[in-house]
C-alpha cells in the first residue's frame, strides 16, 4: 500500500552528485570509490548456477559486441553494480520482483557470496574477509531486519531482542537490561514477557527492529520489512522508522518495491531493473530528471506539489538577492506555489540560517510541475 501524500517528507530531497555512482545517460557507471562513503559497492556481480565464472567470461566477451550470450542454467541476478552510501543516510534500493534488489542486499554482509566485485564497509573489503572477520561484522557492525520477522517462537519478546547480545557472549543481566531499553525505544514497553504468536504483525516487526538495534550496529539492512503488513500498520511503521532514525542516526539500506515508500523514507534512491541500476539520486532527481522511461513510469503518479521542495526547483543565487517574501528551501512546492504565483519577480529561497541560497522563477516552477506558464 502506498503512503499517502501527507506522509512524504519534502525536506529530505537534497542531492550531491559526488556522493553516489549513478548511471550516466548511456547507462554506464562511475566506479571510483568515494573515500567518505561508509558502504562502497564496486562492480558487483552475482550469477547463480554451476559455472558462474564461465558466464562472466561470456558476458564480458560479448559486452562490446552488444550480443547476448547463452546463459542457460544460470541466473544473472546482479549485474555490475556500483554505488556509495554515506554514514547516517537512508539509502533505498527499489525495483519490481525479480529485479535483484534482495540478492544485492544479501551480498553486502555476504549472506550470499558475490560472484565478482568489491563491497567495502569503512574501507574493508567484505568479499575478502576471513570467517572470523565476517562473524565480527555480522555480530557487531551490521544487523538485518527481515520481511517475515525471523523471530524465535519459543522465546519471549525480551529474549528475542536480547538474542544477538547472547550470541556475543554478553551476560544475561546486561543483555536483558539492554533489550528492555530497545523495547522501550520501539514503543513496546509492557510486552516484554509475551511470545511472538501473541503479537500483531506490526508488533512483531518492532521486535525484529529492536533485536537489530540491540547490538548497536553501525549499519541496518532492511529487506522489504513492511510489505507483509496491513496498510495502516505499514504507514505507522514507516513513521516509527523515520522517528527512530532521527534519534539513532544509523546508516540504513532499505529494500522496497513501492516508490511512495522509497520517497517517504529515502535520502537517496536507487532503482533496479533486471539486475542493473537504472538510476541513483534523490527523489527530486528521479522525478524531475528520470534517466529512462522505466524510471518515469515509477514517478508519474507521485504528487509533485507535496513531494518536491523549493530546493528541487531553485536556481543558484547570482548577484544580490531579490527583494520580496522568501520561502524556505525545505518548503514543499504546494506551500511555495501561492507565493511564487503572486510574485512579480524572482522569489528568494533561504536555508536554515535565513541566508538566501537561490531563487525560484514562476516559469521554472510551473515547468517542473508540467503546467503551462
Spell out a b/e string for 260-293, using b for 16 or more CB atoms within 10 Å of the CB, else e: bbbbbbbbbbbbbbebbbbbbbbbbbbbbebbee
pTM: 0.83
* Between residues 5 and 316, the one the model is more confident about: 316
- Label residue 67 by pLDDT band (50, 70, 90): low
Predicted local distance difference test score (pLDDT) of residue 25: 37
More confident residue, 50 or 2: 50
pLDDT confidence of 288, banded at 50, 70, 90?
confident
Q: What does the pLDDT average to over 220-234?
A: 90
Q: What is the pLDDT of residues 115-147, one digit of tens each?
A: 999 999 999 999 899 999 999 999 999 999 988
CB 106 within 8 A of CB 138: no
Question: What's the mean pLDDT in 280-295?
Answer: 92
- pLDDT above 80: residue 63: no
| Structure confidence at residue 35 (pLDDT) | 67
Q: What band does 149 get if pLDDT is binned at 50, 70 and 90?
A: confident
Question: With pLDDT > 90 as the criterion, what percentage of the chain qualifies?
Answer: 65
In this predicted structure, the answer to whether residue 8 has a pLDDT above a threshold of 90 is no
Q: Do 184 and 156 meet the contact criterion of CB atoms below 8 Å apart?
A: no
| Cell numbers at 114, concatenated | 558475490
Distance from chain centroid for Cα 307: 17
pLDDT at 70: 76
How does pLDDT run across 10-58, given as a tens digit for each residue? 333 333 433 454 443 334 444 566 767 999 999 999 999 999 988 988 8
Mean of the per-residue pLDDT values for the chain? Answer: 87
Of the candidates 260, 259, 261, 263, which has an alpha carbon nearest to the alpha carbon of residue 295? 259
Mean pLDDT across 256-277: 94
Set of cell numbers at residue 85: 552510501
Q: Helix/strand/coil (H, E, C) string of the chain?
A: CCCCHHHCCHHHCCCCHHHCCCCCCCCCCCCCCCCCCCEEEEEEEEEECCCHHHHHHHHHHHHCCCCCCCCCCCEEEEEEEEEEECCCCEEEEECCCCCCHHHHHHHCCCCCCCCEEEEEECCEEHHHCCHHHHHHHHHHHEEEECCCCCCCCCCCHHHHHCHHHHHHCCCHHHHHHHHHHHHHHCCCCCCCCCCHHHCCHHHHHHHHHHHHHHCCCCEEEEECCCCCCCHHHHHHHHHHHHHHHHHHCCEEEEEECCHHHHHHHCCEEEEEECCEEEEEECHHHHHHCCCCHHHHHHHCCCCHHHHCEHHHHCEECCCCCCCCCCEECCCEHHHHHHHHHHCCCCEEEECCCCCEEEEECHHHHHHHCCCCC
Structural domains of the chain sorted by starting position, each given as residue range(s) with its CATH number in brackets: 5-302 (3.40.50.300), 310-368 (3.10.580.10)
Residue 2 has pLDDT above 80, yes or no: no
Instruction: Report whether 215 contacts 143 (CB < 8 A).
Output: yes
The pLDDT value given to residue 15:
37
CA distance 198 to 229: 16
Judge whether residue 1 has pLDDT over 60: no
Amino acid at each position: 500500500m502506498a503512503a499517502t501524500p501527507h506522509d512524504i517528507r519534502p525536506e529530505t530531497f537534497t542531492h550531491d552528485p559526488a556522493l553516489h555512482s549513478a548511471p550516466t545517460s548511456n547507462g554506464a557507471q562511475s566506479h571510483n570509490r568515494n573515500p567518505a562513503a561508509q558502504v562502497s559497492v564496486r562492480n558487483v556481480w552475482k550469477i547463480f548456477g554451476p559455472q558462474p565464472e564461465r558466464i562472466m567470461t561470456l558476458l564480458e566477451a560479448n559486452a562490446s559486441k552488444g550480443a547476448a550470450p547463452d546463459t542457460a542454467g544460470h541466473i544473472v541476478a546482479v549485474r555490475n553494480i556500483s554505488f556509495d552510501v554515506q554514514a547516517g543516510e537512508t539509502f533505498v534500493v527499489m525495483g519490481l520482483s525479480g529485479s535483484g534488489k534482495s540478492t544485492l542486499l544479501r551480498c553486502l554482509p555476504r549472506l550470499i557470496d558475490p560472484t565478482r566485485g568489491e563491497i567495502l564497509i569503512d574501507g574493508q573489503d567484505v568479499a575478502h574477509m576471513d570467517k572470523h572477520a565476517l562473524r565480527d561484522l555480522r555480530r557487531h557492525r551490521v544487523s538485518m531486519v527481515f520481511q517475515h520477522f525471523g523471530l524465535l517462537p519459543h522465546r519471549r519478546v525480551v529474549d528475542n531482542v536480547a538474542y544477538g547480545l547472547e550470541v556475543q557472549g554478553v551476560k544475561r543481566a546486561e543483555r536483558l537490561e539492554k533489550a528492555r531499553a530497545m523495547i522501550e525505544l520501539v514503543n513496546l514497553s509492557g510486552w516484554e514477557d509475551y511470545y511472538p504468536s501473541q503479537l500483531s504483525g506490526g508488533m512483531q516487526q518492532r521486535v525484529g527492529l529492536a533485536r537489530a538495534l540491540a547490538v548497536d550496529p553501525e549499519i541496518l539492512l532492511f529487506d522489504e520489512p513492511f510489505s507483509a503488513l496491513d496498510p495502516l500498520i505499514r504507514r505507522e511503521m514507516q513513521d516509527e522508522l523515520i522517528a527512530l532514525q532521527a534519534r539513532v542516526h544509523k546508516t540504513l539500506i532499505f529494500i522496497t518495491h513501492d516508490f511512495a515508500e522509497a520517497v517517504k523514507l529515502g535520502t537517496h534512491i536507487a532503482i533496479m531493473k533486471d539486475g542493473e541500476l537504472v538510476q541513483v539520486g534523490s527523489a527530486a532527481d528521479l522525478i524531475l530528471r528520470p534517466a529512462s522511461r522505466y524510471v518515469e513510469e515509477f514517478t508519474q503518479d507521485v504528487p509533485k506539489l507535496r513531494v518536491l521542495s523549493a530546493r528541487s526547483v531553485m536556481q543558484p543565487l547570482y548577484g544580490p538577492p531579490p527583494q520580496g517574501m522568501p520561502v524556505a528551501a525545505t518548503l514543499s512546492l504546494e506551500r511555495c506555489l501561492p507565493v511564487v504565483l503572486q510574485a512579480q519577480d524572482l522569489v528568494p529561497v533561504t536555508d536554515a540560517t535565513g541566508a538566501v541560497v537561490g531563487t525560484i522563477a514562476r516559469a521554472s516552477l510551473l515547468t517542473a510541475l508540467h503546467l503551462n506558464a
